[in-house]
Amino acid sequence: MSENTQNKLFFLDQHGCAKNQVDGELLISRLEAKGFKRTDEAEKADLIIVNSCGFIESAKEESLNSLFEARSAFPDKKIVLAGCLAERYAADFAENLPEADAIFGNGDLALVDTLVDKLFARAKDEESTFAVTAPQEGVCCGPRSEFLNFPASAYVKITEGCNNCCSFCAIPLIRGELRSRNRKEIVEEIKTLLEKGIFEINLIGQDLAGYGRDGIARGDSGNAAYFAEPSPLRLLLEDISALKGDFWLRLLYIHPDHFPRDIVPVIKADPRLLAYFDIPFQSGSNQVLKAMNRSGSAQNYAELTDFLRKSFDGDVTLRTTFLCGFPGETADNAKETEAFLSQVKPDWSGCFEYSREEDTAAYSMKNQVPFKTANKRAEKLRSMQEKISAEKLCRHMDKDYTVLIEEVIDDPENDAGIALGRCWFQAPEVDGATVVRYELDDPKQKARIFAGSVVKVHVTGVTGFDLDSILL
């Protein structure tokens, strides 16, 4: 433990996806082991870390604006730009981003020790920005003393990087090629989390279908090795299913071109393994899918949704993503995606405008679509999805569900007990919530409602993307 970092305070400004969140949690633990203490007040911190996102233009702008605002507000504090944006442009930022004292890549998070030692040991007149980076090897993991989710929920990263090389995506440029964690290591981490009182485990990676398929050539998803059974993901789920205890386990982000169908029997056999599938289809136009470097078709993807619904007798939740305004996407292509959305009717979907990312294959493609056009197409899909989600939510009416409570927002003036939580078919951050109403003047009911508690409710209504319910 360095004397230079003993009892100093740090503030983490977290951006980006769940994978970047796990990195932020690992940084918290590393810094605390170095003698730092975390504060939620940036003005009290000796060190400010902006854990950035570098996936799309809007996220990059948000991260950089946070850095600029921090430097403007706290000119004398030590400020580090970390995360995906820092990893992608480390050399350029070290030379041209004086607002940051240091740039920290995400190839090896253990190097944060080296970074802070250098940062707090150098003389005051050494003001040039420096970078600390490492090759993208392995999967950064380790103990986490704090989770940035709501209580009782955690993300577990099982892969890093990606071999799919979708033509619009910068992730392989940032995070590198696919790497998978050891199965035993993952199970041990989950076991430890359950012992700590975590109820909900969300497995994450850029593409969980790629788990254990390291070494297969980039883009070679047609290789027979991708479809060999039992799939590595199935074997992992079988090991997790052998764990004792009451918990939820959700799979997030599975590429549709090589969805491992052999995981379905394992999930059906264990109700703790949730029949929730996040499958980014991106488009309903075969022409656009081909340009995206996808090997599947709209027909393949529709068949996959049919397979999953039939496998679980309709008791399944499907989330997807659509990317609007991809280079060369015509009005007819957009209509094909609308028709596809109407056909597959996912429970949830995210609809985004294409972001032109340098060094990706799509960056130099002809017929770039104006943002206004892309936005109009995305808004149309969002409007369609809102109606579909409302229709889908109605099937939960007058049914009883388990809810993980995230936040208590009681209204004592009106003697109303109110909490927000999620059912199994509502993933953290991205889906709707379940509003739980209870008797505020009932001590027994009040004692059961707190952030992280798991309760039974009866669904009484649907409001937008959310459910209304009463405590049982």
pLDDT for 51 beyond 60:
yes
The pLDDT of residue 225 is 61
CA distance 90 to 95: 9
pLDDT for 2 beyond 60:
no
pLDDT for 222 beyond 70:
no
The pLDDT of residue 345 is 97
If we measure between CA atoms, which residue out of 226, 227, 224, 204 comes closest to residue 213? Answer: 226
Residue 434's Cβ-count burial label (10 Å; 0-12, 13-18, 19+) is buried
| Mean pLDDT value across residues 208-230 | 73
| Mean pLDDT value across residues 80-107 | 94
| Mean pLDDT value across residues 158-166 | 93
- Is the peptide bond prior to 230 cis by the omega test (within 30 degrees of 0)? yes
In angstroms, the Cα distances linking 292 to 2, 57, 176, 295 are 49, 18, 19, 9
pTM for the whole thing? 0.94
The pLDDT of residue 121 is 87
Please compute Rg for the chain using Cα positions.
23
> What proportion of the chain, given as a percentage, has pLDDT over 70?
96
pLDDT for 202 beyond 90:
yes
| Mean pLDDT value across residues 395-400 | 96
The pLDDT of residue 219 is 45
Task: Encode pLDDT of 113-144 as tens digits.
Answer: 999 999 998 766 667 899 999 999 999 999 99
- pLDDT band per the 50, 70, 90 thresholds, residue 218: very low
The pLDDT of residue 415 is 78
The pLDDT of residue 125 is 62
Task: Encode pLDDT of 345-376 as tens digits.
Answer: 999 999 999 999 999 999 999 999 999 999 99
Residue 282 zone, left/alpha/beta (φ > 0; ψ -120 to 50; rest):
left
Task: Encode pLDDT of 418-439 as tens digits.
Answer: 999 999 999 999 999 999 999 9
pLDDT for 45 beyond 90:
yes
pLDDT for 1 beyond 60:
no
The pLDDT of residue 413 is 78
| Mean pLDDT value across residues 150-168 | 94
pLDDT for 447 beyond 90:
yes
- The strand pair at 248-251 and 159-160 is best described as unpaired
The pLDDT of residue 116 is 94
Round the average pLDDT of the chain to a whole number and report it: 93
| Mean pLDDT value across residues 154-180 | 93
| Mean pLDDT value across residues 323-352 | 97
| Mean pLDDT value across residues 408-419 | 86
- At 384, which helix (H) or strand (E)? helix 371-393
pLDDT for 4 beyond 70:
no
> Is-contact 268 311, C-beta < 8 A?
yes
